[in-house]
Amino acid sequence: MTSATTRDRAEEIVAAVGGPANVLSLTHCATRLRFELKDASVVDRATLEKVPGVMGAVPQSGDRYQVVVGGAVQSVYTQIVNLPSMKGVGAAGQSDADVKAAARSKARGKVAWLDAFFEYLSDSFRPLLGVLLGASLIIAFTAVLDALGVVDFRAADKPAGWVFVDAMWRSVFYFLPIMVAYNAAKKLEIDPWVGATVMGALMTPNFISLSDPTAFAGTVCTTNATLGTDSCVADVFGLPLQLNDYGGQVFVPLIMVAVLALVYKMLKRIFPENIQMVFVPFFSMVVMIPVTAFLIGPLGIWLGSGLGSGLAWLNGNAPIAFAIIIPLLYPFLVPLGLHWPLNALMLVNIGTLGYDFIQGPMGAWNFACFGATAGVLFLAWRDKDVQMRQTATGALAAGLLGGISEPSLYGIHLRYKRIYPRMLVGCLTGGLIIGIFGGVNTSIFAFTSLLTIPVFEPMALYAIAVAAAFAVSMVLVIVSDYRTAEQKAEALEARRQAEADLALEASAGAPAPTPPADAAPTATLLAPLAGTLVPLAEVKDAVFSSKALGDGVGVVPADDATTLDVLAPVTGTLITLPDSRHAYGIKTDDAVEVLVHVGIDTVNMAGDGFTSAVTKGDRVTAGEVLGTVDVAAVRAAGYDTTTLVTVINTRSLAGVTPRPAGPVVPGDAVVDVVP
């Protein structure tokens, strides 16, 4: 179908539901468009059902309306929301961004300056997520080669090729201060290149060369006996300048840009607009480069080192408490975007101590998060929940391979409140193992994924801890489910609807069989089993009672019925037979499409109580046994035993007339058909 034709279809659907002005919101499930309307009474159902590709229209309670379009629902939905006339119309349900905003709004808004501070931190780091992840994966690659003994990446005399590989990931961390300064300046709405330039000045070869006492007589260097590091002070215009290695530092650019923003905006008020482009950056650099070099730089180094030392003290004196607190804290920090300060401290630890002790316990949280996602994925596969299966598969892949928890959090965990308590047990388990056995360190910054396990020491302890966190969360989610009873019922109903819609779509698209030379036109549909004939209007299922799957009848088996044969109501080709064996789709030689649906919601029984004597593609004769149903088992499982017989392509036939209600036996005529 061409894009123009698809757009026409989208416009016709919107027009039939009352136009864009009548649409409050729109979302979709696996097979249906779900409209929330201002007034459902204005929907032109007859016109809607004539739109090419629309298989049915189903009114819901209130002003909600569903349009059945089958497997093409995603493309139709996209076309509708992209229509110029639909601009501004909301989407029902919450996107991942909505979930994130809702989570953050719970803890924010009470103290404005604190909100602004954390937003400043988050937005200074968030754009760097991609390059940080890329560097992390390069590190993972090198760590695997190191663990396998291919090359010793910690050796001082590595071949040039592997030194070059080191440069690939070190570029991100060494120049991180410049990147953070750029983002921070952009967040505060000043020229980001000025922020990057000020920070870059402290990382130039010229600045670094000041620490060489052989080249500059005024430079004095001392050695810290505890840390084994050199500290140099240079004489610059008669003033003492403490020299530091600013590679990988993050507190310095954050503090510097906050001050720069005040200076920059003050200068914009001083200079006329026509000369601001020249003098505002100039004076900003003249003021801020010295201020940063002499004051802010040393202050930022001191602040980062102090915080790192405090956490190091806690880790050294109460390792179990530290290893438990970190993984239990992260699940609440990440949704609020408050985890970036801790991430910054990891980089500070590596720069000052040569290793970091936060990432190990953090890995317990990450893998507990991924384990909960794996549990959801298992249940989605079991329940044939296609939409959740797709969401969980993508989130789990992003987590295990990239160490990214956000797809799991915003796509699943924050939407289902039962997940968090189970995930926290996994966090506690992993943290406890790390704490009891002495902690885990790493000498590099890496996203905690399967690929980065080799960068942690001791690797075996870390692997056991994260595996335990993953397994505990996954098992708890599988055993106790992640949904409430109401959410499970909703999901099962959506699945049943999707299966019926897709069966309808499949049968409608199946090629018509070549009729035998002596084939007679289809005139009647026969009762598939014994019971009481009832009109569709009395069937307790909105899809069938609304005739979205065509006109027909229901047959209610007797209360004392046990196991019954299900007979073919017409002669034709079996084109639909789900694995659950609760439904049969038959297409006659003259293209009458008949659906026999045994029970209501019985798809949830997953085939229990059903057998089939035929296979998809078989030719069946009216009155032939298609399979059996254990009516008693269906009733015991709590499902309605009413068996539906509908002509799903009713609209394309000359006539479909249900017979009057009353008792029937197998083989009785129940529907008259005029092809």
Checking phi first, is residue 88 left (phi over 0); if not, alpha (psi -120 to 50) or beta? Answer: left
Q: Which residues contact 311 (CB under 8 A, 6 or more apart)?
A: 322, 345, 349, 357, 358
CA distance 128 to 417: 30
Beta strands in 208-313 (DSSP E): 220-224, 229-236, 239-243
Strand partners for 37: 23
440 and 327 Cβ atoms separated by less than 8 Å? no
CA distance 466 to 364: 5
CA distance 187 to 189: 5
| CA nearest to 610, candidates 643, 647, 575, 645 | 643
301 and 249 Cβ atoms separated by less than 8 Å? yes
CA distance 215 to 206: 12
> For 286, how many CA atoms within 13 A lie in the half-sphere containing its CB?
7
Q: Which residues contact 68 (CB under 8 A, 6 or more apart)?
A: 31, 32, 54, 55, 56, 57, 58, 501, 504, 548
Q: Has 29 been annotated as catalytic?
A: yes
Helix axes 319-336, 340-352, angle to 10 degrees: 130
CA distance 605 to 614: 20
> For 344, how many CA atoms within 13 A lie in the half-sphere containing its CB?
26
Widest pairwise Cα distance in the chain? 111
Sequence length of the chain is 675
Which residue is catalytic, options 28, 339, 413, 597? 597
Which residue is catalytic, options 28, 29, 339, 582? 29
Q: What does the radius of gyration of the chain's CA atoms come to, in whole angstroms?
A: 34
Buried b (16+ CB within 10 A) or exposed e, 557-571: beeebeebbbbbbbb
CA distance 460 to 596: 57
- Show the tokens assigned to 596: 């026999």
DSSP secondary structure letter of residue 296: I
Strand partners for 56: 68
Alpha-helical segments (H) within 318-444: 319-336, 340-352, 359-382, 386-402, 406-411, 419-436
The pair phi, psi for residue 394, each rounded to 5°, is -65, -40
What residues are labeled active site? 29, 597
